[in-house]
Amino acid sequence: MLYKKFLLCFFCFCLCFTIAFSYVALRHFVNSGDTVESICRIYQLPQSVFLDWNQSDSSIRLTPGMVVTIPFPSGFVYRVSEGNSLSWISCAFFSDLNTIASANGLKFPYTLRIGQEIFVPYAEVGRKFFNEPDKLLWPVYGEISSLYGNRIHPITGLKSFHAGLDIAAPEGTPIFASASGTVTMAGENGGYGIMIEIESATQKYRYGHLSALCVMVGQRVKRGDVIGRIGSTGDSTGPHLHFEVRNQKNQTLDPLSQLPNIKNIYPKH
């Protein structure tokens, strides 16, 4: 009888757990010899997901006894900010609205509150990229706020040359690798704020003003991997991505000349 009661309670607990949570945050105690790669292997977790959960604005240092978080299933969390709809969040992750709604137990009309956590399963991220094989991938879902070329600097008010393309998006919006390559820089870099530099065989790409990093120096990243989150660090007047393309002579190029047409970048709402 006691056994049956236990089974019933356990069943109810599992049911509640399933309904209430879209993911479970497991804890892993770091052992000596653990590396980011070895922990990711144990839990079959993509490195970008592990680093998104456990790294902030500087490189992660694993020390024995330290506790790291392992999300199950694998995925990213987005915290709702003012004006965000579920439709917008699904676009920001280039994912499918209905899949995100069901992953979070949300029913139409999907009313969200500021600060609410929306879980985006890893398997769904990037499924709706507009992918032109000969072009770069748009690194973020947002609005172009400043073009490459001469402009009046938003902070100094002086004429200056803008070496990249600015794309405005809310803090925490995921940033994707526009091209595959090796991470050569990840951290604070003066006016760029928290910055990532990724080097491919022919070009370098800089992603500036981030709030968080999902990559480490030396890591190989694939086109479309999540590499960080939008922020406003360094010389910045609001949350945006400064996206820069450099050739082998370290000369900057206009990113718009290598990106797909702006009319096609986002999935249909």
Question: CB-based burial of residue 83 (10 Å sphere; 0-12 exposed, 13-18 middle, 19+ buried)?
Answer: exposed
CA distance 243 to 14: 45
Binding site for Zn ion (CB under 5 A): 164, 166, 242
Q: Which residue number has the CB closest to Zn ion?
A: 242
State which residue, 6 or 161, has the beta carbon closest to Zn ion.
161
Nearest to 246 by CA among 195, 203, 202: 203
CA distance 224 to 125: 9
In the complex, the smallest distance separating the C-beta of residue 194 from Zn ion, rounded to whole angstroms, is 14
CA distance 141 to 138: 7
In the complex, the smallest distance separating the C-beta of residue 93 from Zn ion, rounded to whole angstroms, is 23
Q: Tokens 């010899």 identify what position?
A: 33
In the complex, the smallest distance separating the C-beta of residue 200 from Zn ion, rounded to whole angstroms, is 21
Are 207 and 242 in contact, with CB atoms under 8 Å apart?
A: yes
State which residue, 147 or 216, has the beta carbon closest to Zn ion.
147
CA distance 269 to 118: 18
Helix (H, G, I), strand (E, B) or coil at 150: strand
State which residue, 154 or 267, has the beta carbon closest to Zn ion.
154
State which residue, 168 or 215, has the beta carbon closest to Zn ion.
168
In the complex, the smallest distance separating the C-beta of residue 74 from Zn ion, rounded to whole angstroms, is 32
CA distance 192 to 188: 7
State which residue, 164 or 224, has the beta carbon closest to Zn ion.
164
In the complex, the smallest distance separating the C-beta of residue 163 from Zn ion, rounded to whole angstroms, is 7
